[in-house]
Amino acid sequence: MKKWMLLAVGMVCISVPEMAMADPVRVGFSSDLGLPSGYAVGVVVHPGLDVFSVSGSLTYNALNFGGRLSLKFDPMALAPRLPFGIFLDAQGGFAAAGNVPGHSSDMPSLGYDYANLYGGFRFGRMNGFHWNIEVGPSYLVAQTGNFQSVIGNSGGLKVGNPSANLWITPTFETGFEVSW
């Protein structure tokens, strides 16, 4: 335990002289995979302060495309030479309504909005290539469509499309990010 603490303190000491009072604006890109967002590729911007980053991503969840915005707080970015870090990531996104391929007539469509509140680990320096693993709860508002097709001919009943508000714990996301 002491070894780990000494190592951490040592690395911070090495990094402190490089701490920037005003960081340059950094731009990069990211790619990750997770639930409920699916596969995502996006643009990352560090707006002149390395501890914060904003990213916008295009997502695909096998049913349809969507989008996601992310605001990340990485306090360990104050020590830019540290090859690891922990961070908080607040995300909001949507997945447009889509059908399981080949089942548009016999299965309902599904679309959803979601918010993720993640805590994560960063492996690699913040201002270069690094891999992230994020875990946390998700709040999901799902809306189905074409639900009548699932019920079938139920004696002339007209069935509306169900919706759901769900907390899912945990969900995850993992992928890389590169910024310059």
Q: How many CB atoms lie within 10 A of CB 95?
A: 25
Considering Cα of 80, then 82, then 84, then 87, what sign does the dihedral take?
Answer: negative
Query: Residues with Cβ < 8 Å from 17, sequence gap 6 or more?
Result: none
**Minimal distance, residue 169 CB to another protein, in Å:** 6
| Interacting residues with another protein between 123 and 152 (CB under 8 A) | 135, 140, 150-151
Query: Amino acid identity of 94?
Result: F
9 is a site residue for another protein (CB under 8 A): no
* Closest among 120, 118, 111, 14 to 64, alpha carbons compared: 111
Site string for another protein, 39-78 (x = CB under 8 A): ----------------------------------------
Among 116, 164, 178, 179, contact with another protein (rule: CB under 8 A): 164
161 is a site residue for another protein (CB under 8 A): yes
**C-beta of 101 vs 160, nearer to another protein:** 160
What does the alpha-carbon distance between residue 112 and residue 80 come to, in Å, rounded to a whole number?
37
78 backbone dihedrals φ, ψ, rounded to 5°? -65, -25
Among 22, 101, 156, 180, contact with another protein (rule: CB under 8 A): 156
Contact status, residue 141 vs residue 112, Cβ threshold 8 Å: yes
Give the number of residues in contact with another protein, rule: CB under 8 A.
Answer: 23
- List interacting residues with another protein (CB under 8 A): 1, 4, 135, 140, 150-151, 154-170
